Amino acid sequence: MQNISVIVPVYNGGMEWKRALDALQQLSPPPHEIIVVDDGSTDDSRAYAESRGVCVMQTLHPRSGPAVARNLGAAHASGEILLFVDSDVLVYPDAVARVSASLADPQVSAIFGSYDNLPGDKGFFSQYRNLFHHYVHQTSQPDAATFWAGCGAIRREIFHRVGGFADYRRPSIEDIELGYRLTGLGYRIRLVKELQVKHLKRWTLRSILQTDIRDRAIPWAELLVRERQLPRDLNLKPAHRISAVLCWLVVLVVFASLLVPAAALLLAPLVIGLVFLNVALYRFLLQSRGFVFMLGGIACHWLYYLYSSAAFAYVVLNRRVQLLVNQMPHLLGHRARM
């Protein structure tokens, strides 16, 4: 059994954090150590961790972000494996054993798991959000191009060798960026579908849109444009890209039909195409929560395609405009010489 250091960043974790820490202390076998990094909490998150006898550290500045917190915890960890866990998830008792077994293969540098299909919050948006995450991870290829810090482990030596998490200063895509960096350097990452955790966070439509657009879609698109790569796993499979195009065609046809009613005839094939491309997900939602839930899930899923693809288009267009602006002095100077 390898020595595993569990590292948890926390910011105003509330009751979810207390449940999460209780679950960590029930791991069997136990980890080598649990390091909690308080990211400037104003509630009793730090006091509760200290009362449970775990190692508690604090970031240098209030609310530095989870990337900085994880890097600080990793700098003081002594285990061979760093297991990063979010402060709003419940680990199952066998998590350490699963991580150790998965990293017994010396060719594997990092692993990550997924949320389970029984989210802690019972609200519709929390259920949909977590079931969608669970489905995507459970149906993706084991060889991954990215990383997930909700419950993900990496060899300590490799983590420090590549420079740890990039500093995004707020919860963002620091784990995705680390994954791309790892695979770009030839390290192997595995998605371990049996390694699951229960997510306790309460989601609303507003928090989903805010998180997905500001903290995920835009910085992720900037990363993809900067790296000039478009992986074909998780949320970037070809079927997902085609679905995004079909969703926008549906929007265009709906508006066109207001001027030309006959255009509405195009809606049926577009909707059929969308359902066909995503039928496995919709069947999963139906079997998990019923017909009404599935209909709501389909609406949320199509909305997801619209705003995520719009964010990508915005980043690409903005980058091209910036390149054009930067080239203008050269172009104007060239024309003046002519």
Percent of the chain with pLDDT over 70: 91
2-47 tens-digit pLDDT: 799 999 999 999 999 999 999 999 999 999 999 999 999 999 999 9
Q: What is the pLDDT of residue 324?
A: 63
Token pair for residue 295? 């209909």
pLDDT at 216 over 90: no
User: Alpha helix (H) ranges present in 185-290?
Assistant: 205-210, 218-227, 238-259, 267-277, 279-289
pLDDT band at residue 337, thresholds of 50, 70 and 90? low
CA separation for the pair 57, 55 (Å, rounded): 7
69-81 tens-digit pLDDT: 999 999 999 999 9
Length of the chain measured in residues: 338
CA separation for the pair 284, 263 (Å, rounded): 32
Q: What is the pLDDT of residue 297?
A: 97
Bridge partners (DSSP) listed for residue 8 = 36
Percent of the chain with pLDDT over 90: 76
Q: What is the pLDDT of residue 123?
A: 96
Whether the upstream peptide bond of residue 29 has omega within 30° of 0, thus cis, is yes
Q: What is the pLDDT of residue 327?
A: 58
Q: What is the pLDDT of residue 197?
A: 98
Residue ranges and CATH numbers for the domains of the chain are 4-203 (3.90.550.10), 234-337 (no CATH)
Token pair for residue 176? 């995705």
Residues 6+ apart with CB under 8 A from 26: 93
Taking phi over 0 as left and psi of -120 to 50 as alpha, with beta for the rest, 8 belongs to: beta
Q: What is the pLDDT of residue 46?
A: 93
What average pLDDT score do residues 92-117 get?
A: 96
- Residue 130: closest CA among 284, 9, 260, 322: 284
Distance of alpha carbon 175 from the chain centroid:
7
Between residues 17 and 145, the one the model is more confident about: 17
What does the radius of gyration of the chain's CA atoms come to, in whole angstroms? 22
Helix and strand numbers (H, E) in the chain are 13, 9
pLDDT at 326 over 70: no
Mean pLDDT computed over every residue of the chain? 90
Q: How deeply is 138 buried, as exposed, middle or buried, from its count of CB atoms within 10 A (0-12, 13-18, 19+)?
A: middle
- Residue 298: closest CA among 116, 134, 121, 131: 131
Q: Concatenate the DSSP letters of all residues of 125-189 into one string.
A: HHHHHHHHHHHHHHTS-SEESS--SSEEEEEHHHHHHHTSS---SSSSSHHHHHHHHHHHTT--E
pLDDT band at residue 259, thresholds of 50, 70 and 90? very high
* 99-105-111-113 Cα dihedral, nearest 10 degrees: -50
**Helix, strand, or coil here: 3?**
coil
Token pair for residue 209? 């849109």
Q: What is the pLDDT of residue 89?
A: 97
Token pair for residue 88? 């709003």
CA separation for the pair 322, 317 (Å, rounded): 9
294-307 tens-digit pLDDT: 999 999 999 999 99
Q: What is the pLDDT of residue 10?
A: 96
pLDDT at 336 over 60: no
Least confident of 26-30, 88-92, 198-202, 217-221: 217-221
243-257 tens-digit pLDDT: 999 999 999 999 999
What average pLDDT score do residues 138-142 get?
A: 93
User: What phi and psi, each to the nearest 5 degrees, are found at residue 171?
Assistant: -55, 120
- pTM beyond cutoff 0.85: yes
Q: How far is CA 88 from CA 14, 20, 40, 81, 315, in A?
A: 9, 6, 16, 21, 31
177-189 tens-digit pLDDT: 999 999 999 999 9
Q: What is the pLDDT of residue 231?
A: 58
- Per DSSP, 211 falls in state I
Between residues 1 and 6, the one the model is more confident about: 6
